Amino acid sequence: MTGVAQRAASASRSGGPAGTASVSRFRLGGLAMAFVQIIEFRTSDVDAVRKIDEEWRRATEGKRTARRELLARDRSDPDRYFAMVFFDSYESAMENSGLPETKSAADQYMQASAGQPAFYDLDILEDRA
């Protein structure tokens, strides 16, 4: 799921800015930190969301900067989902967001979701195995 663009589409509908949280750029030892976006959303048709995501993946092959995506469902609330999208950096997330295919998919995600999604933009400070 491409939350950065999804938020931009959501904001364009509401007339507000694309995003409510300011994102700081962290560097540890001079190295740029990885970035993850978590999108919390509700849907009763997760198959529609998966189909949109598969179409986006095909359309952005070789262009997208998302490195990994996870989709999780809340065990206590089966219509509540979390998409976690991993990027090399905040800047690469913004590059991904600027793809026309991402903007198109964001509009489709909004149609498949119930209500406005919540976005969490996170700089990764530690990553341990």
State pLDDT tens for residues 109-128: 999 999 999 999 999 998 88
Handedness of CA 63, 94, 68, 125 (dihedral sign): positive
For the chain, give the mean pLDDT. Answer: 82
* Pairwise CA distance, residues 68 & 31, whole Å: 20
State pLDDT tens for residues 36-61: 999 999 999 999 999 999 999 999 99
Nearest alpha-carbon partner for 5 in 58, 42, 53: 53
Taking the model in full, what pTM does it have? 0.74
CATH topology of domain 3-10+33-123: Alpha-Beta Plaits (3.30.70)
What is the pLDDT at residue 29?
55
C-alpha Rg value of the chain to the nearest Å: 14
Confidence band of 68 (pLDDT split at 50, 70, 90) = very high
For residue 95, the SS3 value is: helix
113 C-beta neighbours (distance < 10 Å), count: 21
* Pairwise CA distance, residues 74 & 54, whole Å: 22
What is the pLDDT at residue 129?
85
